[in-house]
């Protein structure tokens, strides 16, 4: 894990590019919100509320590369994986696809 979160000035410029923030208008899902959690060493399910698109990095004046994947790894190691992730991985192991029974199309498809 890198320590870029320690360099976050909390300017908030990244929020304009974050698709999750723009959809939910919730500060805690923004890169700034997540950086604050990381600075305070708070492990949170909020790290799963992220597309990992890195659009926040594009607008960050310090070009910070916040390690959201590392935070997810820690959550999973602590057994705090989401039910949706567990289901998806179980389906891949059992059926070879993330949706479920072999050959059965899902009724709905969602992106993230």
> Would you tell me which residues interact with ligand SF4 (CB under 6 A)?
8-14, 17-20, 31-32, 35, 50-56, 59-60, 62, 64
Nearer to ligand SF4, 28 or 97 (CB): 28
* In the complex, least distance from residue 7 CB atom to ligand SF4, rounded to whole angstroms: 7
Which tokens hold the place of 19?
Answer: 């698709």
Q: DSSP per residue over 67-108, as a string?
A: -HHHHHHHHHHTT---HHHHHHHHHHHHHSSSSSSTTPPPS-
Nearer to ligand SF4, 11 or 92 (CB): 11
Closest CA to 9 of 70, 60, 68, 67: 60
* In the complex, least distance from residue 15 CB atom to ligand SF4, rounded to whole angstroms: 7
- Is residue 35 within 8 Å of 5, Cβ to Cβ? yes
* In the complex, least distance from residue 101 CB atom to ligand SF4, rounded to whole angstroms: 31
Nearer to ligand SF4, 59 or 88 (CB): 59
């Amino acid at each position: 894990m890198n320590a870029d979160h320690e360099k976050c000035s909390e300017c908030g410029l990244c929020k304009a590019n974050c698709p999750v923030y723009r959809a939910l208008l919730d500060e805690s899902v923004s890169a700034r919100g997540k950086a604050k959690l990381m600075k305070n060493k708070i492990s949170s399910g909020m790290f799963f509320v992220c597309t990992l698109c890195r659009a926040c990095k594009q607008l960050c004046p310090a070009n910070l590369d916040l390690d959201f994947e590392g935070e997810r790894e820690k959550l999973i190691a602590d057994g705090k994986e989401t039910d949706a992730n567990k289901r998806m991985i179980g389906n891949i192991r059992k059926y070879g696809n993330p949706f479920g029974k072999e050959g059965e199309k899902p009724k709905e498809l969602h992106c993230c």
